[in-house]
């Protein structure tokens, strides 16, 4: 019970703010496009506004690493929480589509700082034998928040209209900021673990020195991000192809998400006890298989079964990219390295739906989904090839 007990000890200061932040993100996700159309955007422009959050996150990854290195993890998270609060005020006050797009982009920028800082914090604060469980729990908490958020947003919108969803995120961000004030500084951990003085390095130097990892394992993270993002698009698209109504599609998607949420801690436990490959490779194999089976479904029942399989595959991989990034990161320049590593994963998240859309335009929806199955299996091959075969704690002992 040492593992669960240790994680429960840090839950109020680490996981509670992550849950609050995730609830807010989940609350606004379904309404961004609606808000854009209310301001006069066409469906295509509304899609651009939705994509602004992902673009902001990609733009922010490298600067987030530099900022976190300069001011520390806790201050970076506090700053990101303040920034997203200001961005949400911008969403509430936006008078034009482009004002809304800018504000949504800033939420993505704040999200990149927040996500990197909390990953760096756990990478430092948690013993390496608990690292995967700590980071997979972080990913699981984010999933739980994203699952709860739309329901709280819907409740708030009954009284406040579309603005209610943004108020949910705003209140969640403020509460997260209050909780973060209690987060202990981690500088004493660094001083205790490092007897030699720490010399700061530039972000360019850190990236250059670790380019061999970024161009191998980083590319694997990009492929993982692409197939994960594809999962969120292909289920509703195929449901539409089958003629299912929006309510049925939402239920199927929700059931897939529920399965996804159940697996984060077992996945982390397997990674800590047996190694990262034992989770990363099966996760991608299952996601690839589920994509391959999706075009064979012709009813609500079969689509639900495949959606559940996708939930299993995605849930198995909860926290795996954060864990791999933490394992590969150096003690000096950790946050800067993590910023570069997250850039690959976030680029994959953004490019997955674009690849699916392009393949659909050329080949049709069914063949395009099969292409994404190939991406999933390519990700599995990359993870098998480039994840070190020994546990990170044994690597540390060998160094």
**149 within a domain of the structure (yes/no):** yes
Please tell me the predicted confidence (pLDDT) of residue 6: 64
pLDDT for 352 equals: 85
Q: Please give the pLDDT value at position 398.
A: 43
Q: How far apart are CA 60 and CA 76, in angstroms?
A: 13
Residue 163 falls inside a structural domain: yes
Structural domain contains residue 269: yes
Q: What is the largest CA-CA distance in the chain?
A: 64
Query: pTM here?
Result: 0.84
Number of H helices, E strands in the chain: 20, 0
159 shares a domain with 20: yes
Question: Distance between CA atoms of 228 and 218, rounded to whole angstroms?
Answer: 15
Regarding whether 161 and 19 lie in a shared domain, the answer is: yes
Asked if residue 62 and residue 23 are part of one domain, the reply reads yes
Q: What pLDDT does residue 189 have?
A: 47
Res 291: pLDDT: 95
Q: Which domain holds residue 255?
A: 201-389
Q: How many domains does the chain have?
A: 2
In a domain, 323, yes or no: yes
Does any domain span residue 367? yes
pLDDT along the chain (399 residues), means of 10: 63 82 87 86 79 88 90 87 93 93 94 89 84 89 86 88 91 88 56 49 84 92 92 84 79 84 89 91 96 94 94 91 91 89 90 84 89 95 87 48
Nearest to 382 by CA among 217, 231, 229, 227: 217
We report the CATH number of the domain holding residue 46 as 1.20.1250.20
Cα 4 from Cα 120, distance rounded (Å): 20
Length of the chain measured in residues: 399
Based on the fold, state whether residues 60 and 129 are members of the same structural domain.
yes
- Residue 186 belongs to a domain: no
Residue 85 domain flag: yes
Asked whether the beta carbons of 113 and 80 are under 8 A apart, the reply is yes
CA distance 180 to 184: 9
The residues, any chain, with a CB within 8 Å of residue 289's CB and separated by 6 or more, are 309, 313, 373, 376
* One domain for residues 146 and 225: no
């Amino acid at each position: 019970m040492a593992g669960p007990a240790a994680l429960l000890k840090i839950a109020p200061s680490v996981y509670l703010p992550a849950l609050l932040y995730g609830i807010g993100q989940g609350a606004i996700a379904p309404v961004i496009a609606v808000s854009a159309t209310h301001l006069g955007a066409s469906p295509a422009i509304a899609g651009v506004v939705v994509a602004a959050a992902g673009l902001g996150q990609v733009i922010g990854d490298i600067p987030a690493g530099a900022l976190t290195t300069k001011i520390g993890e806790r201050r970076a998270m506090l700053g990101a929480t303040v920034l997203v609060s200001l961005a949400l005020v911008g969403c509430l006050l936006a008078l034009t589509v482009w004002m809304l797009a800018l504000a949504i982009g800033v939420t993505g920028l704040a999200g990149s700082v927040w996500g990197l800082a909390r990953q760096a914090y756990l990478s430092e604060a948690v013993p390496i034998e608990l690292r995967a469980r700590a980071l997979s729990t972080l990913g699981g908490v984010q999933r739980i928040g994203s699952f709860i958020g739309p329901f709280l947003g819907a409740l708030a919108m009954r009284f406040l209209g579309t603005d209610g969803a943004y108020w949910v995120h705003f209140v969640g961000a403020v509460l997260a900021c209050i909780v973060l004030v209690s987060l202990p500084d981690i500088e004493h951990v660094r001083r205790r673990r490092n007897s030699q003085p720490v010399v700061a390095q530039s972000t360019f130097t850190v990236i250059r020195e670790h380019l061999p990892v970024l161009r191998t394992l980083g590319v694997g993270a990009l492929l993982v991000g692409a197939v994960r993002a594809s999962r969120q698009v292909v289920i509703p698209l195929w449901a539409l192809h089958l003629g299912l109504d929006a309510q049925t599609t939402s239920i199927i998607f929700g059931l897939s998400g529920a399965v996804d949420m159940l697996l984060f801690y077992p996945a982390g436990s397997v990674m800590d006890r047996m190694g990262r490959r034992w989770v990363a490779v099966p996760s991608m194999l299952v996601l690839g298989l589920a994509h391959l089976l999706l075009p064979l479904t012709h009813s609500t029942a079969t689509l639900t079964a495949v959606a559940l399989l996708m939930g299993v595959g995605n849930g198995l991989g909860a926290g795996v990219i954060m864990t791999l990034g933490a394992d590969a990161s150096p003690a000096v320049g950790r946050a800067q390295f993590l910023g570069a590593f997250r850039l690959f994963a976030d680029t994959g998240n953004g490019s997955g739906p674009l690849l699916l859309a392009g393949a659909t335009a050329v080949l049709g929806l069914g063949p395009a989904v099969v292409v994404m199955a190939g991406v999933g299996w390519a990700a599995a091959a990359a993870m098998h090839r480039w994840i070190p075969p020994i546990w990170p704690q044994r690597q540390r002992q060998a160094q």
